[in-house]
Amino acid sequence: MATTDTPSHHWQRLRQQTQELVEDLRAWVELRLTLTQMEIEERIETQIRRLLLRLLIGALAGLAAVFVLVAVALGLGAWLGHTGWGFLVVALGLMAVAAGLHFSRRRSSKAVPTATPAGEPDRAANA
């Protein structure tokens, strides 16, 4: 049984199969892009959930710290004879902590050595 396909028919079949292959490849690439997009969206949603949870925990911890500080101020105020004195002592303590953090940050940023170009002596080490 001999085939009676002409060369033009072969080329037509080859062209059709090539077009189908290109369409399949295009569909595969689109699906791959969609999958990658979905994976990225899932990662972003996970990070947002984690951030919201940390924000909630931080807000609750901050609120608890405020209540503790108010309780300490009221306790000191009762001990010192007037609630205003307790709040003043707590405020001054917080200001001292803030000043200590501020100055320790400034000192630690000065202590960080800067990169020097090759061949030049490190002036910070000599000072």
Query: 64-92, pLDDT tens digit by residue?
Result: 999 999 999 999 999 999 999 999 999 99
Under the phi-then-psi rule, with left for phi > 0, alpha for psi from -120 to 50, and beta for the rest, what region is 110?
alpha
Among residues 113, 117, 115, which one has the least CA distance to residue 125? Answer: 113
How far apart are alpha carbons 99 and 4 in whole angstroms? 95
How far apart are alpha carbons 79 and 91 in whole angstroms? 16
| Per-residue pLDDT, 110 | 72
Task: Please tell me the pTM assigned to this model.
Answer: 0.55
Looking at per-residue pLDDT, the higher value among 121 and 61 belongs to: 61
The arithmetic mean of pLDDT across residues 35-39, rounded, is: 97
Amino acid at 119: G
How far apart are alpha carbons 2 and 29 in whole angstroms? 40
